[in-house]
Protein backbone atom coordinates (compact mmCIF):
# COMPACT_ATOMS: atom_id res chain seq x y z
CA UNK A 1 0.00 0.00 0.00
CA UNK A 2 0.96 3.67 -0.10
CA UNK A 3 1.83 3.40 3.53
CA UNK A 4 4.91 1.44 2.64
CA UNK A 5 6.29 4.26 0.56
CA UNK A 6 5.79 6.80 3.30
CA UNK A 7 7.21 4.57 5.99
CA UNK A 8 10.28 4.04 3.86
CA UNK A 9 11.26 7.63 4.44
CA UNK A 10 14.10 7.61 6.86
CA UNK A 11 13.97 9.55 10.07
CA UNK A 12 17.05 11.37 8.89
CA UNK A 13 15.12 12.73 5.94
CA UNK A 14 12.26 13.75 8.18
CA UNK A 15 14.61 15.45 10.60
CA UNK A 16 16.25 17.39 7.83
CA UNK A 17 12.93 18.32 6.37
CA UNK A 18 11.62 19.51 9.71
CA UNK A 19 14.75 21.56 10.28
CA UNK A 20 14.33 23.28 6.95
CA UNK A 21 10.65 23.95 7.52
CA UNK A 22 11.26 25.42 10.93
CA UNK A 23 13.98 27.59 9.42
CA UNK A 24 11.37 29.06 7.08
CA UNK A 25 12.27 27.20 3.92
CA UNK A 26 9.20 27.48 1.70
CA UNK A 27 10.37 24.70 -0.57
CA UNK A 28 10.66 22.38 2.41
CA UNK A 29 7.12 23.19 3.40
CA UNK A 30 5.91 22.25 -0.03
CA UNK A 31 7.96 19.07 0.05
CA UNK A 32 6.49 18.05 3.36
CA UNK A 33 3.04 18.77 2.05
CA UNK A 34 3.55 16.80 -1.13
CA UNK A 35 4.91 13.86 0.80
CA UNK A 36 1.96 13.41 3.11
CA UNK A 37 -1.02 15.14 1.60
CA UNK A 38 -2.42 12.15 -0.28
CA UNK A 39 -2.64 9.95 2.75
CA UNK A 40 -3.96 12.69 5.00
CA UNK A 41 -6.58 13.61 2.46
CA UNK A 42 -7.63 9.98 1.97
CA UNK A 43 -8.06 9.42 5.67
CA UNK A 44 -9.92 12.69 6.04
CA UNK A 45 -12.22 11.74 3.23
CA UNK A 46 -12.84 8.31 4.72
CA UNK A 47 -13.84 9.85 7.98
CA UNK A 48 -15.76 12.80 6.58
CA UNK A 49 -17.36 11.22 3.54
CA UNK A 50 -17.35 14.57 1.73
CA UNK A 51 -14.75 16.13 -0.47
CA UNK A 52 -15.43 19.60 0.91
CA UNK A 53 -14.94 18.55 4.51
CA UNK A 54 -11.98 16.38 3.60
CA UNK A 55 -10.28 19.36 1.99
CA UNK A 56 -10.96 21.53 4.99
CA UNK A 57 -9.64 18.93 7.38
CA UNK A 58 -6.53 18.36 5.29
CA UNK A 59 -5.80 22.05 5.02
CA UNK A 60 -6.32 22.55 8.74
CA UNK A 61 -4.01 19.62 9.45
CA UNK A 62 -1.13 21.10 7.49
CA UNK A 63 -1.67 24.61 8.78
CA UNK A 64 -1.57 23.32 12.32
CA UNK A 65 1.42 21.15 11.55
CA UNK A 66 3.39 24.06 10.15
CA UNK A 67 2.54 26.10 13.22
CA UNK A 68 3.56 23.41 15.68
CA UNK A 69 6.40 21.79 13.84
CA UNK A 70 8.87 23.76 15.94
CA UNK A 71 7.63 21.94 19.04
CA UNK A 72 7.79 18.50 17.41
CA UNK A 73 10.19 16.46 19.56
CA UNK A 74 10.50 13.38 17.35
CA UNK A 75 8.97 11.06 19.92
CA UNK A 76 7.05 9.49 17.05
CA UNK A 77 7.59 9.54 13.34
CA UNK A 78 6.60 12.62 11.41
CA UNK A 79 4.00 10.56 9.60
CA UNK A 80 2.38 9.40 12.83
CA UNK A 81 2.49 12.94 14.22
CA UNK A 82 0.83 14.33 11.11
CA UNK A 83 -1.84 11.64 11.08
CA UNK A 84 -2.50 12.25 14.72
CA UNK A 85 -3.21 15.88 13.94
CA UNK A 86 -5.29 14.88 10.95
CA UNK A 87 -7.49 12.43 12.85
CA UNK A 88 -7.92 14.88 15.70
CA UNK A 89 -8.91 17.66 13.35
CA UNK A 90 -11.29 15.42 11.46
CA UNK A 91 -13.04 13.91 14.47
CA UNK A 92 -13.40 17.29 16.19
CA UNK A 93 -14.68 18.81 13.00
CA UNK A 94 -17.14 16.01 12.45
CA UNK A 95 -18.52 16.41 15.96
CA UNK A 96 -19.13 20.06 15.24
CA UNK A 97 -20.81 19.32 11.97
CA UNK A 98 -22.59 16.19 13.12
CA UNK A 99 -25.98 17.81 13.35
CA UNK A 100 -25.62 19.31 9.92
CA UNK A 101 -24.47 16.01 8.49
CA UNK A 102 -27.40 14.19 9.99
CA UNK A 103 -29.81 16.61 8.38
CA UNK A 104 -28.11 16.34 5.03
CA UNK A 105 -27.40 12.63 5.22
CA UNK A 106 -30.30 11.41 3.13
CA UNK A 107 -29.43 13.62 0.19
CA UNK A 108 -25.70 12.95 0.29
CA UNK A 109 -26.22 9.30 0.89
CA UNK A 110 -28.35 9.13 -2.19
CA UNK A 111 -25.62 10.75 -4.23
CA UNK A 112 -22.96 8.42 -2.90
CA UNK A 113 -25.10 5.41 -3.47
CA UNK A 114 -25.80 6.48 -6.99
CA UNK A 115 -22.10 6.77 -7.69
CA UNK A 116 -21.22 3.38 -6.29
CA UNK A 117 -24.06 1.29 -7.65
CA UNK A 118 -21.88 0.34 -10.59
CA UNK A 119 -19.50 -1.75 -8.46
CA UNK A 120 -21.39 -3.16 -5.50
CA UNK A 121 -24.77 -4.31 -4.54
CA UNK A 122 -26.73 -1.21 -3.68
CA UNK A 123 -28.34 -2.69 -0.63
CA UNK A 124 -25.05 -3.95 0.86
CA UNK A 125 -23.27 -0.71 0.12
CA UNK A 126 -25.98 1.32 1.76
CA UNK A 127 -26.29 -0.94 4.76
CA UNK A 128 -22.53 -1.03 5.20
CA UNK A 129 -22.23 2.74 5.08
CA UNK A 130 -25.03 3.20 7.58
CA UNK A 131 -23.59 0.59 9.89
CA UNK A 132 -20.13 2.15 9.86
CA UNK A 133 -21.57 5.62 10.34
CA UNK A 134 -23.50 4.34 13.34
CA UNK A 135 -20.31 3.24 15.08
CA UNK A 136 -18.93 5.34 17.85
CA UNK A 137 -16.10 7.61 16.76
CA UNK A 138 -13.46 5.59 18.55
CA UNK A 139 -14.59 2.36 16.89
CA UNK A 140 -15.16 3.92 13.51
CA UNK A 141 -11.75 5.57 13.43
CA UNK A 142 -9.97 2.33 14.25
CA UNK A 143 -12.06 0.34 11.79
CA UNK A 144 -11.53 2.81 8.95
CA UNK A 145 -7.82 3.08 9.59
CA UNK A 146 -7.24 -0.67 9.95
CA UNK A 147 -9.75 -2.43 7.71
CA UNK A 148 -10.27 0.28 5.11
CA UNK A 149 -6.95 2.15 4.91
CA UNK A 150 -4.63 -0.62 6.03
CA UNK A 151 -2.95 0.99 9.02
CA UNK A 152 -1.32 -1.33 11.51
CA UNK A 153 -2.32 -1.36 15.13
CA UNK A 154 1.03 0.19 15.97
CA UNK A 155 0.30 3.09 13.65
CA UNK A 156 -3.22 3.45 14.96
CA UNK A 157 -1.91 3.37 18.48
CA UNK A 158 0.51 6.18 17.76
CA UNK A 159 -1.97 8.20 15.79
CA UNK A 160 -4.88 7.98 18.20
CA UNK A 161 -2.60 7.93 21.24
CA UNK A 162 -4.11 4.75 22.60
CA UNK A 163 -2.49 1.44 23.58
CA UNK A 164 -2.21 -1.21 20.93
CA UNK A 165 -4.48 -3.48 22.94
CA UNK A 166 -7.10 -0.79 22.98
CA UNK A 167 -6.81 -0.44 19.24
CA UNK A 168 -7.36 -4.16 18.82
CA UNK A 169 -10.25 -4.09 21.24
CA UNK A 170 -11.89 -1.21 19.40
CA UNK A 171 -11.51 -3.06 16.12
CA UNK A 172 -13.07 -6.17 17.61
CA UNK A 173 -15.97 -4.13 18.96
CA UNK A 174 -16.45 -2.44 15.60
CA UNK A 175 -16.46 -5.70 13.71
CA UNK A 176 -18.90 -7.25 16.14
CA UNK A 177 -21.35 -4.41 15.72
CA UNK A 178 -21.02 -4.50 11.98
CA UNK A 179 -21.57 -8.23 11.99
CA UNK A 180 -24.84 -7.76 13.78
CA UNK A 181 -25.85 -4.90 11.52
CA UNK A 182 -25.03 -6.91 8.40
CA UNK A 183 -26.46 -10.20 9.61
CA UNK A 184 -28.80 -10.27 6.66
CA UNK A 185 -25.78 -10.73 4.41
CA UNK A 186 -24.35 -13.68 6.31
CA UNK A 187 -24.72 -16.06 3.34
CA UNK A 188 -22.27 -13.92 1.39
CA UNK A 189 -19.34 -14.37 3.74
CA UNK A 190 -20.39 -17.94 4.67
CA UNK A 191 -20.16 -19.16 1.17
Partner 1 sequence: MTEDNFEEFLKKAAQGYNAPSARTPREDMWSAIQAQRAAGPRVVYGGGSPMRETSGRRFGSRIWLGAAAAAVLFLATGVGIGRWSASSSAPPSVAVSPPKTVSPSSSVEEPSGAPGDAALSQTHGTPESSSSSAGVPNVGVRPTNSHSGNPNQLALSGPPANSTPASAYQLAAVRHLSEAEALLTSFRTRSNTDQQMDAQLGSWARELLSNTRLLLDSPVANDPQRRPLLEDLELVLVQIVQLSPGSTPQDRELIEKTLQHDHVMTRLRTAIPAGSQRGS
Binding mask 82-101 for partner 1 (x = CB under 8 A): -------x---x--xx----
Q: Which is nearer to partner 1, 12 or 183 (CB)?
A: 183
Task: Give the largest Cα separation in the chain, rounded.
Answer: 59
Backbone φ and ψ of 131, nearest 5°:
-65, -40
CB atoms within 10 A of CB 70: 10
Tell me the backbone φ, ψ of residue 21, rounded to 5 degrees: -65, -45
Between 150 and 189, how does the x/- string for binding to partner 1 read (CB under 8 A)? -------------------------x--xx--x--xx-xx
Name the H helices within 49-163: 51-68, 78-96, 98-116, 122-133, 137-143, 153-160
Contacts of 95 (CB under 8 A, 6+ apart): 137
Q: How many residues sit close enough to partner 1 to count as binding (CB under 8 A)? A: 53
Show contacts with partner 1 in window 53-72 (CB under 8 A). 53-60, 62-64, 66-67
Residues that bind partner 1 (CB under 8 A): 30, 33-34, 37-38, 41-42, 45-49, 51-60, 62-64, 66-67, 89, 93, 96-97, 112, 116, 119-120, 124-125, 128-129, 132, 143-144, 147-148, 175, 178-179, 182, 185-186, 188-190
Amino acid sequence: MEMVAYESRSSVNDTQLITRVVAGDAAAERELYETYVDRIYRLAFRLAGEDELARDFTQATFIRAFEKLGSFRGESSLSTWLHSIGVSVALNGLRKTKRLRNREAPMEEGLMIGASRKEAEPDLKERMARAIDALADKYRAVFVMHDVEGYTHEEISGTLNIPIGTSKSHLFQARSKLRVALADFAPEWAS
